[in-house]
Structure 1
């Protein structure tokens, strides 16, 4: 198939945290249109592709992306005009060559990725099919189990909860609609459970979950279990953690923060093992620092009751995934295409993982937009589960509606059965 790119337009928009983002629109000869915008994370790994911003303090506190918009239109646009929109690899490789830096610093990873998404969507539009069908090259039979970040760690006035995300995984059903209903019920019940524990209503955290009520992960998980039990979903909802430990790592001493104290890599792994023996955890993500390769290999060896996933460690990067496989450092990785900066590179990382028995878990970013391409990845790649954020705020709710729509469109489509992957 061939359909040539005829125009590349761009503008500045804002994400769900009101931070500027570059949005790109590509049109083809046949009249197909694709639009793309790169999300950004709050926790950004040092190995991720570079986010190009204007650094002009007079507008959006320096976060504007007018340089990126200009590059998309005047540098990338002319280079892609006339190219076949169905040749995603050629489009992405042309941009990588134009940039010429290891981390996409010259043109901006956010610029390149936004163009990459726009081309991907235009190709699906030219075929008049949903993007997830374009990715799957056919129909889907399952949709992934959504994982919900219901309690958010981080630094608060009176405490610091070292673990970044406490998630619920509603897997004990074959219906995505009921999976989402369970999660919403537990999230709402959790407000009451936390209010009883705190003596006041829980605060909403920056990622839209509830602010952590304690610096002790065990207490947090116990309160979450209470909400699950009170809803009558015991045994149907498990947990997951995103520790984001690079945020709490001290390079000087080589230690991590845990419950107000500094601990070694081995002590943190031992504590995680204790949690996996006490609670049913589907996965633990970013347990250690993004450069603690030895620690990750130890964690995979020690943590037999859960999956160890890399995010800041692997950043959806093929070379880092290859290293992780060689060192047996992870059981899988968080798939965030914007980390590496093009659709092609993200797909290459996914294929390597799949061929080598590693699980890929697509995830949105905290600074998301409504039509996040990661949802098409989740459904089109037929992955077991994905990260959705808290069931609150428009772009996160839209992800859930996306799953329900995709499921309803295909007769006989079911929620993915993750039970063979569970280690508890």
Structure 2
């Protein structure tokens, strides 16, 4: 067997940023190089996502243990991959899909498959002695992404009476990635002071953003404008805004209406919700809306895209779930103009890259994204640069599971030197 042959594969149960079990896979090559990768977990998940396999025993970790997925790595995946060439990522991932044999990875579990898939890529890069972003993307990977930092949390990510899930600051006007991080962090700290002055909560949600007692998107965006100005910047010049309503979370399928259950109980058909978005975009420098319609409301998505697609980035997350099949459907129906990429939604690195390639060839924007249940693993930072995505969504400027990705991007920026560019999509 060659020096890049896989010698051993195994997994262990570790904890994610919410204190829930998740899977970490480890791979060792014949020549001794070893690497590992951890798998994140979402709270607001699309119905068509690949299956995250959990044990279901309520007496242990509330049923969230991943012992079955760990055993699938040890007993089923490991024998299949032993002796395989770690440099052949496509073949590794093909073998994983063949071994699983299901559309949604429900046999082995997407968490088992993705952990191994990512660990194989990382060990291959380490064995070659090159950075992971370079191994994944080649010599043309030099675009550092604009951070979309979730600084106000609502929806399923906090207890705040705010129906929309995320409000983000986007330092698109910064000259470099490191300056974008400074602009963002200074605004985050200014926002903390502002919330304290107004006797609003400064507790943090899952992704490191504040979860104050706000009741509307208008109030949240007005707060962000003030915080940006307090930090010494101009809204719409250095710093822009984005939001993720996560509309599937408040869509009532039976009446085909959007119900603001956490705040004032308003009910809106899609046409009125789109008008509300248009009003917000007219009042604030709002340049990106993610999941502005529910995953099953394709007519709502088409309406949203017709009305705002020419002027605002419309990012599909739940509606596409990083799956080329759903993305093709969206392209054919004129739905969205950008896609959120979450590797654990699809289950292997190769399928993730296939979806990215399809999006780019179709003129769709690409944004790499974390999950609300994250880990300290910075793989996502390398993947964002490898894909030349130009955009990354990886949380606020708090909590080390989020900061780990920003810090890794700062290292990559240093490594790229004068060859690095800051992403302006």
TM-score of the superposition, structure 2-length normalised? 0.95
- Residue 362 of structure 1 aligns to a residue in which SS? strand
Partner of 1:380: 386
Q: State whether residues 49 and 103 of structure 1, in contact with CA within 8 Å, keep that contact through their aligned partners in structure 2.
A: yes
- Residue 288 of structure 1 aligns to a residue in which SS? coil
Q: Distance in 1 between matches of 2:242 and 2:181?
A: 16
- Residue 382 of structure 1 aligns to a residue in which SS? coil
Change (3 A) 1:121 1:262: same
Partner of 1:79: 80
Change (3 A) 1:237 1:28: same
Partner of 2:29: 28
Partner of 2:94: 93
Q: Distance in 1 between matches of 2:132 and 2:60?
A: 35
Q: For residues 400-411 of structure 1, what are the structure 2 equivalents within 5 Å?
A: 400-411=406-417
Identify the range of structure 1 (143-152 vs 407-416) with the bigger mean alpha-carbon deviation: 407-416
Q: State whether residues 161 and 216 of structure 1, in contact with CA within 8 Å, keep that contact through their aligned partners in structure 2.
A: yes
**What is the CA deviation profile of residues 195-234 of structure 1, one whole-angstrom value per residue up to 9, with x for unaligned ones?**
233x244332233211143221011101100010111110
RMSD between superposed Cα atoms in Å: 1.7
Q: Distance in 1 between matches of 2:373 and 2:10?
A: 22
Change (3 A) 1:27 1:49: same
- By how many angstroms is 1:12 displaced? 0.6
**What is the CA deviation profile of residues 242-277 of structure 1, one whole-angstrom value per residue up to 9, with x for unaligned ones?**
111111111121111345211111111111111111
Change (3 A) 1:99 1:390: same
Q: State whether residues 19 and 60 of structure 1, in contact with CA within 8 Å, keep that contact through their aligned partners in structure 2.
A: yes
Displacement over 3 Å in runs of 4+: 155-159
- Residue 129 of structure 1 aligns to a residue in which SS? coil
- By how many angstroms is 1:305 displaced? 2.6
Matched, 1:219 2:219: yes
Q: For residues 51-90 of structure 1, what are the structure 2 equivalents within 5 Å?
A: 51-90=52-91
TM-score of the superposition, structure 1-length normalised? 0.95
Partner of 1:252: 254
Q: State whether residues 141 and 412 of structure 1, in contact with CA within 8 Å, keep that contact through their aligned partners in structure 2.
A: no
1:315 maps to which of 321, 327, 349: 321
Change (3 A) 1:155 1:332: closer
**What is the CA deviation profile of residues 382-420 of structure 1, one whole-angstrom value per residue up to 9, with x for unaligned ones?**
1111102011111111111111110011221445242xx
Aligned residue pairs, count: 418
Identify the range of structure 1 (276-285 vs 336-345) with the bigger mean alpha-carbon deviation: 276-285
Matched, 1:345 2:336: no
Partner of 2:373: 367
Partner of 1:209: 209
- By how many angstroms is 1:155 displaced? 6.5
Q: Distance in 2 between matches of 1:180 and 1:157?
A: 24
Partner of 1:144: 145
Where does the alignment leave 5 or more consecutive residues of structure 1 unmatched?
none
